[in-house]
A and B are shown apart, each in its own frame.
Chain A
Amino acid sequence: EDKVVQSPLSLVVHEGDTVTLNCSYEVTNFRSLLWYKQEKKAPTFLFMLTSSGIEKKSGRLSSILDKKELFSILNITATQTGDSAIYLCAVMYSGGGADGLTFGKGTHLIIQP
């Protein structure tokens, strides 16, 4: 059975800290790994990673994929209270003629002032 495991499940840090969120996966016919930020209800897309070792960066957020060890990390530097959210990792795979997407449970990040 395909699995996407995120850790930690929850994390509380102070503003200004750097955090690293982890995502490991076991998926047949892997295509890409995606990170989303979920505030309140609607997840918003952050990154899509397809190739190993190539860092994607957007402001204070960055992410990298290791296809050999089957994991990805999402880094947030100089955290701000607005970074508080649930961060979801999802893996896209191909199978049965249609692509699928499996989400992890998410990491609930709380940034304290």
Chain B
Amino acid sequence: EAGVVQSPRYKIIEKKQPVAFWCNPISGHNTLYWYLQNLGQGPELLIRYENEEAVDDSQLPKDRFSAERLKGVDSTLKIQPAELGDSAVYLCASAARAGTYNEQFFGPGTRLTVL
């Protein structure tokens, strides 16, 4: 069974440019999470989806970040415009059921570098 797929794996952009990350969760997983992980820090939740509904986006900086999960499967996370401080690893995770953090599976992440 394929795991959580993320692309691209690496992205280097200049500040003020837009960037988008894509996540394909494990088949059948209704819950999808986007996390941000800075160097030397643990992951921080940005947004959680139950199917196509964003049920917790309280930590998402909505002035520049946006996310969507059309049709409740794949998801994209966008930053526009990117800032230097956005350099981090963006992790996507999925779970079969809501609230089952012990059953969430993480993707390999996208490492973003903003110059």
Q: Main SS of chain A's interface residues? A: strand
Q: Pick 7 A–B contacts, CB within 8 A, sort by A.
A: A41-B91, A41-B108, A43-B106, A44-B106, A100-B45, A100-B56, A103-B44
How many chain-A residues does the 8 Å CB contact rule pick out? Answer: 25
Q: Could you mark each residue 13-43 of chain B with 1 if its beta carbon is under 8 Å from any beta carbon of chain A, else 0? A: 0000000000000000000000000001111
CB distance from A2 to the nearest CB of B (A): 12
How many chain-B residues does the 8 Å CB contact rule pick out? Answer: 23
Q: Are B42 and A106 in contact (CB under 8 A)?
A: yes
Complex Cα distance, B110 from A42, in Å, reads 10
Complex Cα distance, B103 from A17, in Å, reads 30
In the complex, chain A residues 46-103 whose Cβ is within 8 Å of any chain B Cβ:
48, 88-90, 92, 96, 98-103
Q: Inside 8 A of B111's CB, which chain A residues have their CB?
A: 41
Q: Tell which of A34, A41, A89, A90 touches B109, judged by Cβ atoms closer than 8 Å.
A: A41
